[in-house]
Amino acid sequence: MNEENIDVKPRRTPVQARSRERVSAILRHAAGIFNEFGVDGTSMSAIARSSDMSLASLYRYYPNKAAIVKAIAETHVTKMEQALRERLAETDMVQAVDVLVDLYYDFYRNEPAYSAIWSGVGSMPELRELDLSELHTNARDLDARLEKDLPELSSERRWSASLLLPRSVGTMLRLAVTLPEQEAESLVREIKIMAKAYLATLAN
């Protein structure tokens, strides 16, 4: 999907409860269709039909399919950032590896349309920007936790680690969800071992 120079801003910001419900329904139905047929295999007409609205009504909310993709992706990012902060606050760093890898893996595998949408991150500039923004938000949270748990670690190495861990683990988990379940679970176990080994080097 080539979305260069395409307007991906919603055409209206829902204020009233009815409008918010309509937008929520659009995104929910679109995610279901993306999940089943992929982004490229889904048309605006199909989203409108699934949402029980006319195509003209759909266009009053979103100018194109790319705008819907970006809106769903933003909900994914918000959910993951909130879950990451909650889990990171309640576990120690070693336990956090297991908890967070499982959290990401479950989200990637079960969140409707996650794989369908984020597999196209390289071809949509707005998704690349959102992906980098999420990475830096997660890295700042991890950096604050590492500063607390490993105060002797230099700020430069701590920040590098805070970027490397979520990016490398996230990339491998996105691969895992494309694999057969048994193979994916084996890869997830290895990802945990890799992350824990890296954390151990930071502590030494």
The pLDDT, as a whole number, for residue 63 is 92
Which pTM value belongs to this model?
0.78
How many domains are contained in the chain?
2
Q: Which portions of the chain are predicted below pLDDT 50? A: 1-5
Tell me whether residue 6 is in a domain: no
Q: Identify which of 143, 54, 142 has the alpha carbon closest to the alpha carbon of residue 97.
A: 142
Q: Residue 195: which domain range?
A: 72-203
- Please indicate, yes or no, whether residues 53 and 86 belong to a single structural domain of this protein: no
Q: Which residues contact 108 (CB under 8 A, 6 or more apart)?
A: 114, 115, 173, 174, 176, 177
pLDDT at 119: 77
Three-class secondary structure assignment of 55-67:
HHHHHHHCCCHHH
- One domain for residues 106 and 192: yes
pLDDT of residue 107: 86
For helices 155-176 and 181-203, the axis angle rounded to 10 degrees is: 170
Domain assignment present for residue 196? The answer is yes
Q: CATH code at 56?
A: 1.10.10.60
CATH number reported for the structural domain that contains residue 131 in this entry: 1.10.357.10
pLDDT of residue 72: 93
- Is residue 130 in a domain? yes
pLDDT at 108: 86
